[in-house]
Chains A and B, each alone.
Chain A
Amino acid sequence: MKTFNLNSIMWAVVGLMLLGGCDKTPSPPNTQSKSMANVVGKTSTNQDDLAFAPVVPGYKFKFPRDHLAHNHFRQEWWYLTANLTTETGEQLGAQWTQFRVALNPTDLQATFPHTTDPQTATPQATDATPKSESTWATQQLYLAHSALTSSQTHLAHEKWSRRHSEFAEVKLDPYQIRLDNWRWQSETNALFPATLTVENPDFSYRLQLNSQAPLQFQGTNGYSLKSRDGQVASYYYSQPFIEISGEINRNGKVERVTGQGWLDREWSSQFLTKTQQGWDWFALRLNDGSTLMLFQLRDQSPAESAKNAPISAFYSARRMFADGTGRNINSTDNPNDIQMTPLKWQHTVNGDYPVSWQVKIPSENIDLTITPLNPNSAMPLSTPYWEGPVQLSGSHTGTGYMELTGY
């Protein structure tokens, strides 16, 4: 019988954000709690993994189908970050993420009627147990995070739910992503225009999202490699050019905000190599109108990898333009083109994080110093990580978002 424990699900979410991790090797006790690759609990040789759909090159994206959930892949997310400014000029950051975790490979036709592409339909991906008639029966877990960050405060919440058509799901007509009262509501079956609503006891926001730019496909046409040996990959597309206006409410005080947002969509079934510990991910908006997606997957323990250069890590980046064009820079093609150096560490409730970075990409003439709006942007949720707005200086100025995990 297939077993799945809740802790490992929470950790699987870490794995999600880390773009995966499938390793049962016990880690040394001192690193166990923070070493994400060790706790996800599934090896890629596991029978169950084989039953989940694999990520393969050459996938043809189709919309709105691929805006929906891909239930036969183990994990998936809808990830929005926004750099906002109030009418009084205060800088803010807002984050909303909805994650999906599959407990078991699901029958494709039953739960994913949009799948017609033979590439995604694998023969193993059928349900072992007879389908229950209950509307509650599901193999999909959803969870969502929301945060609002100013230079002084950082507020974060999370919600969990089983998939249920009444309160936690992703659906069309019109397009909607929701978990309880946190909701992305599009006007049509397209992503935009849309309204994102998040309500919490201490903060809430309601943001109008709009974008005219084409979607950006990361990696090779949306096939995003996560390891040098090509073993691990995900499907990954972004919309880095979102115009935002709306209002936020902090403890009853309502303010109008405007700004720019960035949406990431990613799904996969197998994550991380055995030695990968965590990642540092950046979504940066440069003052020349371009955007830069950049991540590194760190090998070894975080202390060794981040504090002592040179780091053994897998890099990937894409410089993107509003007309839909872009250039990829990654460890495979340009092994030494990206240099990332932590400049400053911050002690937070979740532990120590490198909150300030120097990033150099000579081929793109980029040399940036990245500093956080609020160094205490740790997310003290069931999966601890750091995520918050950043400011850029150096070769370019600008704003963006940074995510640090596995520390």
Chain B
Amino acid sequence: MNNKPLTKATPTELKQIELKQTELKQTWLRLTWLSLKVFIAHYRHAPIQAGAILLGIALAVTLLIGVKATNDNAVRSYSDATELLSQRADVLLTPPLAQNTLDESVYFDLRRAGLSQSLAVVNGKISGKNGQFWQLEGSDLIAALTLQKSRSYASTETHSTTSPQMNDLPLADLLNGAPTVIMSRSLADKVAPEGKLVLENSTLDVIAIDDNFGLGSAILADISLAQQLLNMQGRLSYIAMFSERENLPQLKSQLDALGITPQKASFSQQDQGQALIALTRSFHLNLNAMSMLAFVVGLFIAYNGVRYSLMKRQKLLVQLLQQGIERRALMTALMFELILLVVIGSSLGFISGLQLSHWLQPMVAMTLEQMYGAHLLPGIWQWTWLFEAIALTLIAALGACLPLYLDLTRQALAQGANRYQQMQAHRKTHSIQFALACGLLTVAALLFPFSQSYNISLVLLGIVAIAIPLLLPQLLHWGVSALMPLARPGLWQYLLAETRELIAPLSLAMMAILLALSANVSMNTLVGSFEQTLRTWLETRLHADLYIRPPSQRIDTIQTQLMHDPRVSGLYQQWQIEAQLSLPVSTDNPSEQTIPVSLLSRDEFSTRHTSALKESLPTLWQSYFNAPVILVSEPLAIKYQLQLGDSVSLDALKQTGNSQAIIGGIYYDHGNTRNEVIISQPLWQKAQLPLLPVSLAASFHGNEQGSRISEAQLDQLQAQLATELGLSQAEIYSQTKIKTQAIAMFKRTFSITLVLNSLTLIVAAIGLFSACLMLTQARQAPLARLYSLGVSRNALRAMVFMQMLIVVLITCLLAMPTGALLGYLLINKITLQAFGWTIKMIWDWQAYGKAILIALTTCTLAVLLPLYWQTRKPLVASLQQETL
């Protein structure tokens, strides 16, 4: 019906309408552009406002990208993990049950049978100059390099590591067994800047190759050298085989036909890194959670910046509306402004995030190598990360800012916004937030007892983390109100009354700082508690004076020598093999599950006194030495929900005629992610497992009868024994040294966590700084008014400072219980479920104090700076400032 006049309109009329529409459209665009230009002029006038927004976005994106790049790279490393300088193995032939190596004749058999797609590998620990251990990898380099070649013909997919151009690899030296090893350039720069490395008393030439060849922190040698250095002549650690998935059954039967039975080598299919991805999931999840926290904290800053800049432009916006600029145009201009800020901020954050990840990666690589034995590939980055970051930031920023924009553009033309109403609205929001927080906390409290997996626990932890800052504004109100009766009339009452009004504009920054403080306190609690637990545990575990891990061929001689040594007061042994544990089929466990475990045995004294038992059957020691009763490590028990009294089956016990065994005890195994089982020596012998121990421990007589040997004497003795027994510094360890090294390793493992945590706190501190700064600036007018009324500058400064201090202190106070709560959950839920380590929670006052100190310092600086600036400006300028 409306179209009717149009359809009847003459062509000229139509054209006119069209023109008008275009004109309108143009006007609208022009107005948008005009408003945008005004905004840009505004920011040029007040660069600090734009700076605060950009800073917030950039910081948020930096941490997000930094952690994302680090995590993505690690996960990529697991699935792309290849044999060094070669391809990803499809099948591994590993040493047969109860042996550490396999005979190299197995490899010769494979080659002669035409299974040329095989790679002989030896690896092992080797001692360096200062008694530190290095992991040495050796392989038939020609096989490694040419396998890669023949594979890349076959497959068109490109791996980042498949095509090393092996320029300058001195094959002549390498193949000839000359003392030459290969390292990635970054490792070589670190450990062998001169191109030389001393290992096992021989000086080796170091060839540095590009990091892109994926050596990580491995030291690679040709097998001709590696077998000699590792004392593994004629032996191999494993054989990597390359085969298409569909050919595997055929390969298996080929091996059978060659007589390569499980007695000679065990056959295991590779899972393309799936196990490692699963194993490290909790680690990466933790990093992700922390980066999201930092992202949120960063966005708080940005949001605060946007709010502040809008507040400063309130008058300007009204003026623009009064000038006849459409609300729609104004809105669009504001949106454009936000998008522009997000894109610039995200891009800045993207760049610094990549740099951050560059710093974080060595740390993560260290952790992953220490804990999971995973090699990391050099980092890559993708443009999609930038787009993801922009999208995420934009969505978050729009969600946060849209209500603000709507409010502003809807404001009445005749400005006279009712301050009181605004305050009322804030109060209402705050109580809703509080109620919501209480609801969330209740939900978490109800669900936590039922959570068995760390995934769910982490989600619940997230809910708690969201609830904590929501509690804050209401609690601040109550806190300040509680102070009211204490205040003397006059300026003091004014001070408190105004503080209450400050809560609303400050609340966001304070929420951010509360979240960061709580997270910081909780992480510090976790790390501190873990360290303490580890120390206590080491104290129990280590009872002998010296620990000796000689090469396997010499252990027998050394054992005999020590047994007859008059200085030795006690000799202890440890046996170890790799085995498979199977859980019985049950309702929870419909198909039989086999778990690779380290099977250990210790002498009776060590087992009884150093096992750090978490729980045990009451009759454990009566039955342990004469029945098939085993001890399992806590991580193994928690991961597979094993209980005392459960019956499991161990393949290594086959020779006893009964591979079933009862779990008689669960022992703490802190810092170890591998699954471990301990059986008694009688059972070990009955199962016909290797008689030679893998390591020895010895205690020594002190000067006087029955006394313990002193530290100085022990050092002397250690050096003496090393010479007598022909052991290198790395094969003989004192108890103290093991403890120091374990703690050092632990600290390195957690360094990434602590760094991220501190970064988050810094981001929050910056947020607090910018919020305080802007708020104090915004309050220049009322302060100038007070000054005009005769309040001295010093009194004013004290007042402003007191106000901020009250808010910050209440927040810090709240951070204590919330930090403790988060810490409790991290220790007793997340860590326990993810790693299987029971940790005793220890509250760290020092860490808490440090965090509060940072918050207070930031706040002081943020208050003092604008006050100082103000004193340098004419009073009238301050009086004319826009009011809050």
Contacts and interface: CB of A to CB of B under 8 A. Distances in A.
B228 A134 contact: yes
Interface string B369-411: 0000000000000000000000000000000000000000000
Contact of B165 (A7, A137, A166, A382): A7
B250 to A, nearest CB: 10
Contacts of A133: 177, 228
Nearest to B141: A162
Contact of B178 (A132, A158, A199): A132
B712 to A, nearest CB: 41
Given A104-B172, A137-B175, A138-B176, A6 B224 contact: no
A79 to B, nearest CB: 20
A167 interface: yes
A2 B170 CA distance: 6
A136 B112 contact: no
B149 A134 contact: no
B205 A139 contact: no
A129 interface: yes
Interface in B145-169: 145-146, 149-150, 153, 165-169
Contacts of A4: 169-172
Nearest to B177: A132
B116 A159 contact: yes
Interface in B191-232: 205, 222-225, 227-228
Nearest to A129: B178
Contacts, number: 113
B225 A134 contact: yes
Interface in A1-47: 1-7, 9
B176 A181 contact: no
A380 B149 CA distance: 12
A292 interface: no
B173 A160 contact: no
Nearest to A158: B150
B19 interface: no
Contacts of B166: 5-7
A127 B149 CA distance: 29
Contact of A138 (B175, B205, B228): B175
B227 A162 contact: no
A161 interface: yes
A103 interface: yes
Contact of A162 (B142, B149, B168): B142
A114 B205 CA distance: 34
A202 interface: no
A180 B176 contact: no
Interface in A127-146: 127, 129, 132-139, 141
B25 interface: no
A5 B164 CA distance: 11
Nearest to B113: A181
B480 interface: no
A5 B178 contact: no
B37 to A, nearest CB: 53
Interface in B118-143: 140-143
B460 to A, nearest CB: 55
B171 A9 contact: yes
B44 interface: no
A139 B114 contact: no
Contact of B111 (A6, A103, A180): A180
B43 interface: no
Contacts of A103: 171-172, 175-176
28 contacts: A1-B170, A2-B170, A5-B165, A5-B166, A5-B167, A6-B145, A7-B165, A132-B176, A134-B233, A136-B140, A137-B175, A137-B177, A139-B172, A141-B142, A141-B171, A158-B150, A160-B142, A160-B143, A162-B140, A162-B175, A166-B111, A166-B112, A167-B111, A180-B111, A181-B114, A199-B114, A380-B153, A382-B146
Given A134-B233, A139-B176, 16 more contacts: A3-B168, A3-B172, A5-B166, A7-B167, A104-B172, A129-B173, A132-B177, A133-B177, A136-B223, A136-B227, A137-B176, A138-B224, A141-B142, A141-B175, A181-B111, A181-B112
Interface of A: 1-7, 9, 103-104, 127, 129, 132-139, 141, 158-162, 164, 166-168, 180-182, 199, 380, 382
The 6 closest A-B pairs by CB, nearest first: A132-B177, A181-B114, A137-B177, A160-B146, A103-B172, A136-B224
